[in-house]
Amino acid sequence: MKNKLNKGVNYLLLVILIASALYVFVYYMLANEILELRTLPTSFLIAVIVYILTQLIKRFLRKNMPWYNWLYYLGLIAIIIPLPLFSTQGNWVFSVTRWGSLFLLIPPLIEFLVLLKSKPTSER
């Protein structure tokens, strides 16, 4: 029973992570002006906070963290990069935020695939 509950919680956390990461990625893909990268809406900030809190909950529930779960730090850095760059012009900022936000999506997708491929354990 505990194994099924644990797996269910993992799936729920992964769905939350994927939804939050998709929201961030789509926001950056739709952003056309540098001002949109500096003045982030409240819903965007809530999605980022939910993502971080979900990652912290996962770290609390799991004893070991695979290598791919550390990639989301690159995504967080990509979100922060345009904030202090007030006088920056050019497309490189858009490229960094768009490609960098993919690093928020990669870890939960890899873990989702790993969970799907894992063998179901039988209860005795």
Pick out the chain residues at pLDDT < 50.
123-124
Residue 123 lies in a domain: no
List, as one string, the DSSP characters of 39-96. S--HHHHHHHHHHHHHHHHHHHH-S---GGGGTHHHHHHHHHTTSS-TT--SSHHHHH
pLDDT value at position 25?
94
Residue 14 lies in a domain: yes
Domain count, the chain: 1
Residue 124 lies in a domain: no
CA 50 – CA 16 distance, rounded (Å)? 8
* pTM to 2 decimal places: 0.85
Residue 17's domain spans which residues?
7-117
Residue 1 lies in a domain: no
